[in-house]
Structure 1
Amino acid sequence: MKTLILYASVHGHTQLICERLQTQLQAMGDDVTLAALATAPALSGFDKVLIGGSIRHGKHQAALVSYMRQHQAALEQKVCGFFSVSLVARKPGKNTPTTNAYMQAFLKQIEWQPPILEVLGGRLNYPGLGTMDRNIIRFIMWMTKGPTAPDTDITFTDWDKVSALAKRFHQAR
């Protein structure tokens, strides 16, 4: 089966997760193509599609929502999955598809639900952010009892959960 992994990433962490998924799926014998959403190939050449999107300013990118809506009929004919990456997912009780508000809002926006869903923690890299974003996120982290030191660069991604997603997606038919 031919698999396509698409990603919508702002700072590159969602892409990194997708690269890890690609490596793991290839190790299981899958034929995998990885592409940014902006350069997505035609879906007709693929049996399975896994899409990852990150949260920016409290929502998924508009291009991701548009893509999912535009290609819904084709995606529904394939083994399909979606995962969301956010800093909120670092917290217990907000790290599953049913308990993560960003995932639930996204599913309402696209008006359908891919059969395979996952929520993953993202990366907090204050030095890599612009001044405004850094200050906004530091304030949010202060309110939610997260790290606020301006030199913080920490990954909240549970890589075992990524591996479990790869296995689940590989086994899906």
Structure 2
Amino acid sequence: MKTKIGILYSTVDGQTLKICNALKEILVEKGNTVEMYSIEDFDKEITDFDKFIIGASIRYGKHNPKIIEFINKNKANLNKTENAFFSVNLVARKLEKALPETNPYFIKFLKEIDWIPNKSAVFAGKLDYQKYPFTDRLMIQLIMWMTKGPTNPKTKIEYTDWDKVREFGVLINNHY
């Protein structure tokens, strides 16, 4: 019997979606059936799936409020289903902040909600100043300056560790 896996995501610039697509590919390779939904388009029940993954990116230090609302509203069903959560943020580009236990945004997220995912991960995102609207670019440059990151407006760096994404997909597949 194939395992039916749901992936729910929230993305700002598309990197979380790219990570979700990579996870989907890994899980389908392993023989699972995978359905993917944006937080705006999810119209199923969590319990329709054997496993449920949530991925969310950070913008200005916060996950999308719709993700937090979704988790708070669906906590009971999340707890009935094997689940995983991952966060995507640029702070995770630093090795010492690339784990759920050490990433300040992930730690803050867990304090905001009353739910602990079965499996969790933190992935570094992508920095692409030319893609951002003017105000976002200035704010992100300021944040990067404060955190000793690149501030050149032509900078385009994908920090995502794809081996780590693959390991997370294999973990999700093998864990349950």
Q: Which runs of 5+ in 1 are unaligned?
A: none
Shift of 1:142: 1.5
Q: Which residue is equivalent to 2:17?
A: 15
Which deviates more, 39-48 or 26-35? 39-48
Shift of 1:44: 2.6
**SS of the residue aligned with 1:136?**
helix
Shift of 1:134: 0.5
Which of 129, 132, 136 is 2:132 aligned to?
129
Instruction: Name the count of aligned residue pairs.
Output: 173
Which of 103, 110, 119 is 1:116 aligned to?
119
CA distance in 2, matches of 1:43, 1:36: 14
CA distance in 1, matches of 2:106, 2:144: 20
Q: Identity, % of aligned pairs?
A: 41
Alignment of 1:167 with 2:170, yes or no, is yes
CA deviations 1:122-172 (Å, max 9, x no partner) are 010100101111011111112212111101111110000000000000012
CA deviations 1:65-117 (Å, max 9, x no partner) are 00001011001011100000000000021110000111111111111211100
Which of 113, 135, 160 is 1:157 aligned to?
160
Q: CA RMSD in A?
A: 0.8
Which deviates more, 128-137 or 34-43? 34-43
Alignment of 1:36 with 2:60, yes or no, is no
- Superposition TM-score, scaled by structure 1 size: 0.97
Counterpart of 2:136, as a letter, is D
Q: Which residue is equivalent to 1:84?
A: 87
Q: Which runs of 5+ in 2 are unaligned?
A: none
Q: Which residue is equivalent to 1:102?
A: 105
Q: Which runs of 4+ in 1 moved over 2 A?
A: none
**SS of the residue aligned with 2:95?**
coil
**SS of the residue aligned with 2:100?**
coil
CA distance in 1, matches of 2:13, 2:142: 19
